[in-house]
Structure 1
């Protein structure tokens, strides 16, 4: 149990976590549930979601697994309807699904480019489209409402071979700023979390040998963040008083210089 947040400050809230089958998503779902939220977990891998649900329920939490591909707009809309029916309208959304495929731009790995755009951009937009009406309803009723988008330090750092991934994350970070202008006055808090090196399965998606070796080296050369570290930060954003919006948080390992 973290020394930062104790008790059940999220009791009564309904949280949705996309990309919940592993890493930051899975850790955040467990943390939000431990703090009292009912949590809907979204991802394609149903077996992973079932394991996560079992762990949350074993700890006394409430959770719902929804197997869905967030790149499919209609399927995400159906998922949002199911969440509202089973748990109630969502008032906390972690928009977290993403993929990282690193390669030199001149290699023209257009399939990898498209996969990242489909998941990191289109998938993010589909989740927003499906759940934003539930968030604005909560805000209109005077309840906390949070949309938290997972970006990356790659959104602002200039990193070789990260062109497409960094571009998608820059989109997310700037989209978050722009949405805050519209939704903040409505009472919906919009925030982005930008982690540095995290020890998750994401680096394993990298197929370029040089980039893979670089990331593996970083994981061994420094003490990287753990998924639970990022989850704690996300929970802190959500548990803040309703009038407080922690808009952009960069979380780095202490030893990570760039």
Structure 2
């Protein structure tokens, strides 16, 4: 039996890309999936597909910038399945543009989603994990959290460096019984590159993402971290296309 079988996994940003791929992949391995995202119609389709294929999935329309809604996702997992084993802080925004473009609204949005959204996920799941004396956070950073993405990625990289710092601190504080894994993906096929309104940056990203590898690549890395024995904590996984050189 897989270590994933029967585990209750909540995923933010689950309506597409990495979140959707992770939901489908873990469900196929026997996990009970709690899907959260803003686009309810997409969540309904994904949950329906999982359930039709013999898996178990429920969903909730929610926004990671709303703390109460993130808590509601964790609460739904406990209410419907009796526990919560893994919380995947996946929702993210990549709005690439030079600082001189002064896309301040997009800076604010990235901070709200990429940093505060992760913190809200921690705030929602940590009390549950502490009561259970077990649990696993999967926090999605980026290779841009290892090296500043240039040109145009200064603020985005800043948010993803923050995810790594928060994850490291969380691990030090609660790591005796609660696991924390940070993933740093490179170019992965998803909707992430469509997050900016800066035309020149859109063109650069569209060209760059021609090397992207499937979102299921990240799902497999997440599964690897989850399926380790409880006395093994996979701290970080960086993955990118072989051809990607940063």
Tell me how large the CA RMSD over aligned residues is.
1.2
Cα distance in 2, alignment partners of residues 54 and 154 from structure 1: 34
Residue number among 168, 171, 174 corresponding to 2:162 in the alignment: 171
**Is 1:11 the equivalent of 2:5?**
yes
Q: CA deviation at 1:211?
A: 1.6
Q: CA deviation at 1:26?
A: 0.5
Cα distance in 1, alignment partners of residues 50 and 2 from structure 2: 14
Cα distance in 1, alignment partners of residues 115 and 27 from structure 2: 27
> 1:9·1:36 contact (CA, 8 Å) conserved in 2?
no
The number of aligned residues is 245
**Structure 2 residue aligned with 1:209:** 199
Deviations 1:113-152 (A, max 9, x none): 11111111111111110111112233x2xx5x21010000
Q: CA deviation at 1:213?
A: 1.5
Deviations 1:144-168 (A, max 9, x none): x210100000012122211111110
Deviations 1:2-45 (A, max 9, x none): xxxxx643122111011100000000011111111111011011
SS at match of 1:83: helix
SS at match of 2:175: helix
Alignment of 1:61-76 (within 5 A): 61-76=55-70
**Structure 1 residue aligned with 2:89:** 95
Which shows bigger deviation, 207-216 or 56-65? 207-216
Cα distance in 1, alignment partners of residues 5 and 128 from structure 2: 18
**Is 1:229 the equivalent of 2:217?**
yes
List runs of 5+ in structure 2 lacking aligned partners.
none
> 2:3·2:229 contact (CA, 8 Å) conserved in 1?
no
Residue number among 97, 104, 115 corresponding to 2:109 in the alignment: 115
Q: CA deviation at 1:80?
A: 2.1
**Is 1:192 the equivalent of 2:186?**
no
Residue number among 133, 148, 153 corresponding to 2:143 in the alignment: 153
**Structure 1 residue aligned with 2:16:** 22
Cα distance in 2, alignment partners of residues 14 and 204 from structure 1: 30
SS at match of 1:194: strand
Residue number among 31, 47, 60 corresponding to 1:53 in the alignment: 47
SS at match of 1:226: coil
Cα distance in 1, alignment partners of residues 74 and 145 from structure 2: 28
**Is 1:248 the equivalent of 2:239?**
no
> 2:140·2:183 contact (CA, 8 Å) conserved in 1?
yes
Residue number among 121, 125, 132 corresponding to 1:131 in the alignment: 125
> 1:8·1:34 contact (CA, 8 Å) conserved in 2?
no
**Structure 2 residue aligned with 1:3:** none
